Chains A and B, each alone.
Chain A
Amino acid sequence: MLSRTERVICLLILVGAAVVTLYPMIVLISTGLSPVNSNSGGISFAHPLSLSAFRYAWVNGDFSRYMLNTVIVTVSVVVVSAVIAVMAGYSIALARPPGARWVLYAAVFGFMLPVEALIVPWYYQFRTVGIINTYWSMILPQVAQSIAFGTFWMYVAFRSIPRSLSESALIDGASPLSLLWRILVPNVAPAVKVMAALVFLWTWNSFLLPLVMVSNQSLYTVTVGLSTFQGSHFNNYAALAAGSCLAALPVVVVYLLAQRSFISGLFSGSLVE
């Protein structure tokens, strides 16, 4: 087996990498907990603990509004895209009407397209329809992209269910709708959860889309709000760190709660395999 020194070196490398990984987060939390108006010098470790910066960001910095907007957009995108993707995935994997495969190809293709390739036409499409500066302009494109991902994702999940099961249920007289939601979906619940978690992460984190679509500050999501806040408060490190913590917290919490499935989800998310 390995020598003791080799083992220790190994552990040191792993711990070192963990320290480098965690350091920026420690910086944020520590600085965010410093008193709001005392810190214009940068990163702060030695200071009295105070929640004043969080209060300042939440109330004066409008983060309460930004968080609400982000929740509205993210929850809408997750729920709508999940329902539609589940139906589409079922149809392609089990109902298999002629031509359904083409939808699968289109979905995979659409999922691979970067936002940068579509943001320009989205903007002018929405300007024509008159929904720039509304929640719709942030929700609809992300629903479409999440459906593209989710359709492929749910197709893979439903493919693992034997087709005889869904057919026998239909022969027994179940309506396709109750077959799907009462019998099939409970069987693929883990896949649905991972899909929802990934779409949640992507939507919460999205930046370019809300930046382009919304100029009315009361509609800012937390990413755009934080970016703007940084512009106006670049010297108020405590408030900026507190705002950053607020913006980051929900996704980190979801990740820590669901980390096992979250990580395994990445594999099937990779279309190369």
Chain B
Amino acid sequence: MAAQKTAVASTGSATAATKAGRGGGPRSTRPGRPGRSGPPPALTVAGRKRRDWLSGYLFLAPAVIFIAALILFPLVKAAQYSMQQWDGIGIAKWVGFSNYTQIVTDPVERGSVVNLGILLIFYSLIPTALALVTVNLMRRSQQRGMGFFRVVYFLPQTIVTVVVAIVWTWIMAPSGTGTINGLLHTVGLGPATGTAWLGDFNTALFAVGFIAAWLDFGLCFVLLLPGIQRIPPELYEAARVDGAGLIREFFSITVPMLRRDIGAAITITAVGALQSFTLIYQATNGGPGYATMVPGLLVYRDAFQLGAVGSASALGIAMAVIIFAITFGIRALIERNAT
């Protein structure tokens, strides 16, 4: 991937150079540019630099305004709300850090964080592991049609999440043609009406997790595939000469060589897991009871249905902190093992 990019960049700059060369001469003859004919007055190096800086700031200004007004300022407001008790209408009351301690003490909030932890396994670790095994198989068998499988496996990532949730609630229905239970029944492995996978306290969280794994498998596959293609085949040949089997080769060559790619896959999918609002809102709405409740859903429910703006903001900030912790934690882990 990196090689491809550099190639694009180098051919690109060559064409740019010729264009710049052409543009230099007959510039003044171009119509419709009043006041810009002829070369500009000679500037000192310092003067030119100052002028370039000025245009640099002008180019930067719109981005700065948007980021400041719609990301940094709201973040400060969220931090402020998170220290208050406020229903969104009346007068806010200062409550210090109690909205944060509530994340641990309140059973529903704590439960949502625990659920998130379990879902992280399904969103992140399981698809990464499955993808790792699959790319290893592909490499070993020198399978053709890699491009086809890559396109297919990645498709779930491009399906609108609400649609994913709707179709999986059908497939996981207690009975009916084409459902998991229906398929099991057809092959004689279950009753005509089986478990309501998404409606049963014991299975709902794992059912959501299954959908998550289905979603993220292709993403992990696509993230790991280029990495395994970079590993020199001689390494595997040497291992085979030394008598290493499939398992041995997997753990002593594939995994260590793909360390960074695995880290990237786990990070991207884990961060995605924190933003599981849409899938869960649509598939279970946190239920049954609070069996599939996650922090993202609580932010929505607290702020916009229960009028608890403070605790919603505290949860939102906590989610941001978790995202940063995961990202930098995994990064630190990989860098430390690399040396």
Binding site for B on A (CB under 8 A): 2, 6-7, 10-11, 13-14, 17-18, 20-25, 27-28, 31, 41-45, 84-85, 87-88, 90-92, 95-98, 100, 103, 106-107, 110, 112-125, 140-141, 143-145, 147-148, 151, 160-162, 165, 168-177, 180, 182-184, 186-188, 190, 201, 204-205, 207-208, 211-212, 222-223, 226-227, 230, 237, 240-241, 244, 247-248, 251-252, 254-256, 259, 263-264, 266-267, 269-273
Contact = CB atoms under 8 A, between A and B. Distances in A.
A162 B13 contact: yes
A42 B173 contact: yes
B162 A267 contact: no
A178 to B, nearest CB: 8
B53 interface: yes
A183 B19 contact: yes
B319 A117 contact: yes
A220 B278 CA distance: 16
A187 B64 CA distance: 25
B327 A173 contact: no
Contacts of B140: 2, 6, 10
B59 A147 contact: no
Interface in B167-207: 167-168, 170-171, 173, 176-179
Given A45-B177, A147-B67, A18 B149 contact: yes
30 contacts: A10-B137, A14-B137, A17-B134, A18-B152, A20-B214, A27-B170, A27-B178, A42-B179, A87-B59, A88-B62, A97-B56, A97-B57, A107-B67, A113-B323, A114-B275, A117-B75, A117-B78, A118-B75, A120-B81, A121-B75, A121-B77, A144-B70, A165-B20, A186-B19, A187-B15, A208-B300, A227-B282, A251-B160, A267-B226, A272-B263
Interface of B: 1, 4-6, 8-9, 12-13, 15-17, 19-20, 23-24, 27, 36, 39-40, 48, 52-57, 59-60, 62-64, 66-75, 77-78, 81, 88, 134, 137-138, 140-143, 149-156, 158-164, 166-168, 170-171, 173, 176-179, 214, 217-219, 222-223, 226, 260, 263-264, 267-268, 271, 274-275, 277-278, 281-282, 295-296, 299-300, 303-304, 309, 312-313, 315-317, 319-320, 323-324, 327, 330-331
